[in-house]
Amino acid sequence: MSLKEQLKKDFSTFTLALIAVAIVLNIVIGQIVSLLKLPIFLDSIGTVLVALVAGPWAGGLTGLLTNLIWGLITDPVAAAFAPVAMIIGIAAGLCAKYGLFKKWWGVIISGVIITVALSIIAIPIRVYMFGGITGSGADFITAYLLATGKDLFSAVIITVITDNLLDKIVTAFLAWFIVKGLPKRFISRTPRANAVLE
C-alpha cells in the first residue's frame, strides 16, 4: 500500500472523530489524575489509544494537537512540549505496528521505548528553553544531580527518564486494556487495531 493510500485509510471520518475524543480524554484524565494527586500524569492515554488502533501518524497528531489546544486554552507553556506529545504517539504506534502490543511483556518494552523516544525530544526543549526546570516536583532530582556535580544535560536526561518511565508503562498498559475491552463493532471500524489484538 502506498503512503497516500495508507494515510487515507488511517484518517477516515471515524478516526477523525476518535482523535477529537482522544484529545479531550488526554486533557480530562490528566486533570482527574492531578486532582487525585497521583505520582503519574496519564495525560497521554488518549494519544497511545489512538496510536494503537489507528497507527503512528494518527497517534502523533493526537499528541501534537492535545498540547496545542491545551496551550490555547489554559497554559501556553504546554504548547512548547507539543513535539514531545507527538513523539509519544508516533513511538506507541510504531511499537504496535511491529507487534509489541500483543503480549504483556511487549507492552512494558513499549513503555520503555516511548520514554526513550520522548526523552530525545523533551531534553533539548527542557534544557535550551527552560534551563532544565519545569516548575514541577521533578526539579528536585535535577537540583540534586547538579549539586552532585553532574552537568545540566545529563541531569535533565536522568530527570526526564525517571519522571516518565513509570507513567509511560502504566499508560501503555491502560491503553492496551482499553483496546482489548472495546466492543468488536468498534474495533472493526478502526484501521489498525489488528496489530494489537491476537
Residue (3 or 36) nearer to another protein, CB? 36
* Interatomic CA distance for residues 98 and 121, integer angstroms: 22
Alpha carbons 151 and 135: distance in angstroms, whole number: 19
By residue count, the chain amounts to 198
Q: How far is the CB of 28 from another protein (least distance, A)?
A: 5
Where does 98-197 have alpha helices with state H? Answer: 104-124, 130, 139-147, 152-181, 184-187
The closest of 77, 82, 80 to 65, measured between CA atoms, is 82
| CB 88, CB 94: distance < 8 Å | no
Nearer to another protein, 31 or 194 (CB): 31
Q: Which stretch binds another protein (CB under 8 A): 32-40, 84-92, 106-114, 161-169?
A: 32-40
Residues 164-183 binding another protein (CB under 8 A) are 178, 181-183
d(CA 49, CA 92): 9
Q: Which residues within the stretch 132-151 sit at the binding site for another protein (CB under 8 A)?
A: 132-135, 139, 142-143, 146-147, 150-151
The answer to whether the beta carbons of residues 62 and 50 sit under 8 Å apart is: yes
Rounded least distance, CB 77 to another protein, Å: 6
Q: With binding defined as CB under 8 A, does residue 109 bind another protein?
A: no
Angle at 98 between CA 97 and CA 104, to 5 degrees: 100
Nearer of residues 7 and 120 to another protein, judged by Cβ: 7
Q: Which stretch binds another protein (CB under 8 A): 33-41, 89-97, 106-114, 157-165?
A: 33-41
Nearest to another protein of 16, 98 (CB atom): 16
Using CA atoms, how far residue 130 sits from 17, 46, 72, 81, 137, in Å, is 35, 27, 19, 11, 15
| 8 A C-beta contact, residue 196 and residue 181 | no
Is the Cβ of residue 98 or residue 177 nearer to another protein in the bound state?
177
* CB 18, min distance to another protein, A: 5
What residues line the site for another protein (CB under 8 A)? 11-14, 16-21, 23-25, 27-29, 31-33, 35-39, 45, 61, 65, 68-69, 71-77, 79, 128-135, 139, 142-143, 146-147, 150-152, 178, 181-183, 185-186, 189
